[in-house]
Chain A
Amino acid sequence: MGSRPEAVAPPEIFYDDDTARKYTSNSRNIQIQTSMTERALELLNLPKDGVPKLLLDIGCGSGLSGEVITESGHHWVGLDIAPSMLDIALDREVEGDLLLGDMGQGLGLRFGMFDGAIGISTIQWLCNADKSFHNPHLRLKAFFTSLYKCLTNGARAVFQVYPENDDQRELLSSPAMKAGFSGGIVVDYKDSPKKRKEYLFLVCGQEVPLPLPEGRTEDNDDSGSETNKTVHVLDRRRPWKIQKNNKSEKGREWIKRKKEQMRRRGDDVPPDTKYTGRKRKNHF
């Protein structure tokens, strides 16, 4: 699509009737938005109990993302700032309830109501100051704080984003961490400039941060399973630092912890001595 839309004009102006119509009828765009929404829903990892859940679609636009939610059997409420996009959503008779509003003003939603939230190609708009009185930091803070509040405990929020650089990744994720979320950025197809996609993955009210889901690659195309492999892990106290993966470094502390665990299980374990976990010389 060339230059970044958010650099051109404020969203409610950029998405005028004409752009909104083109956006929603372009088959390539439909396909991309659909597949990113499917991936976001997979990352939400909702209980597969057959009971419809209530989801939020932030920046729902003309309903391309919402329709994927409907197809997967869930209810949704969509919020968008661009009237022309919402008009097309009405024309298309989407199932979700629509709200005209600005996520940067904070969500006026009650406590603990939603089972999850997604936002597809939308929150990077908050990095811009479209009005003289806009402050991206404050707007992101208002957004994430109110989002945290309206989600149920343990719920997830997944935002597909197109960050311009690391500064923008930090700008987006640090207010989320400050609002109480844990999580990080999941990168799919990180080695392919064309297919590469990033998702800000957030978990609400989890004391111990979950391991971050594995990013997709050409080899694991269909695995959405959660594994221990981390891409970037953030936590509340150290926002936006790539955490060291200590698992491979099985030092003295690790061995002592393991031994303690085994003792608790009743296993016969040698006592800890000054030799425990000591580096061995390379003997030939």
Chain B
Amino acid sequence: MGLLTHNMLSSNIRGVVNGFPLRIEAVKVVEKNVEMNTDFLKNMFEKIDWKAFVEASISMGYTELPKEADSSLLDSDDFLNRFHHALLELHLEEGALVCPETRRRFPVSKGIPHMLLHEDEV
């Protein structure tokens, strides 16, 4: 799972009011090569919750993102490279995602988050 997906995911356990962002427990992080597309990054910048994104990247061991960002940064190649790398190339291979309200752990194995809920969580 990459951080783009992480930024869209929230815990939908019954009764949870704010299930976003899921906290990342990283056991193993891998890097993949993804071709960069500036227009895609610009569109995604609008949708991303930046604070959650920076926190997620830090929990994956990547600390090169600015704490705050506005769209003027999108003119900087250096920024775009980092944004691209963190958004699409860093992948959580083993670990867990933790619901911020209930602390329920969703295990991540072979890169796949297991989001199935138990009967009493639906």
A positions within 8 Å CB-CB of B: 49-52, 54, 75, 77, 81, 86-87, 90, 97-102, 105-110, 112-114, 131, 133, 142, 146, 150
- In whole angstroms, what is the CA distance A76 to B110 when docked? 18
Q: A105 to chain B: which residues have CB within 8 Å? A: 12, 116-117, 122
Tally chain B residues at the interface, Cβ within 8 Å: 29
B2 and A97 contact, CB distance less than 8 A: yes
Cβ contact of B37, chosen from A52, A107, A142, cutoff 8 A = A52
Q: A133 to chain B: which residues have CB within 8 Å? A: 119
B positions within 8 Å CB-CB of A: 1-2, 4-5, 7-12, 19-20, 37, 39-40, 43-44, 47, 49, 110-117, 119, 122
What is the distance, in angstroms, from A175's C-beta to the closest C-beta of chain B? 16
Residue of A nearest to B16 (CB): A108
Q: B117 to chain A: which residues have CB within 8 Å? A: 102, 105
11 A-B pairs with C-beta separation under 8 A: A52-B39, A52-B40, A90-B112, A98-B1, A98-B112, A99-B112, A100-B113, A102-B116, A105-B116, A105-B122, A108-B10
A109 and B9 contact, CB distance less than 8 A: yes
A81 and B4 contact, CB distance less than 8 A: no
B40 and A107 contact, CB distance less than 8 A: no
What is the distance, in angstroms, from A245's C-beta to the closest C-beta of chain B? 38
Q: B19 to chain A: which residues have CB within 8 Å? A: 108
A99 and B40 contact, CB distance less than 8 A: no
What is the distance, in angstroms, from A6's C-beta to the closest C-beta of chain B? 18
Q: A86 to chain B: which residues have CB within 8 Å? A: 112
Q: A54 to chain B: which residues have CB within 8 Å? A: 4, 44
Query: Which of A54, A98, A106, A108 has the most C-beta atoms of chain B within 10 angstroms of its own C-beta?
Result: A108
Query: Which of A97, A100, A105, A107 has the most C-beta atoms of chain B within 10 angstroms of its own C-beta?
Result: A97
B4 and A51 contact, CB distance less than 8 A: no
What is the distance, in angstroms, from A28's C-beta to the closest C-beta of chain B? 28
Residue of B nearest to A87 (CB): B110
Q: B40 to chain A: which residues have CB within 8 Å? A: 51-52, 75
B122 and A110 contact, CB distance less than 8 A: no
A97 and B115 contact, CB distance less than 8 A: no
17 more A-B contacts (CB under 8 A) besides A101-B115, A146-B12?
Answer: A49-B39, A50-B39, A51-B40, A52-B40, A77-B5, A77-B8, A90-B111, A90-B112, A97-B5, A98-B1, A100-B115, A102-B116, A105-B12, A109-B8, A110-B49, A114-B8, A142-B122
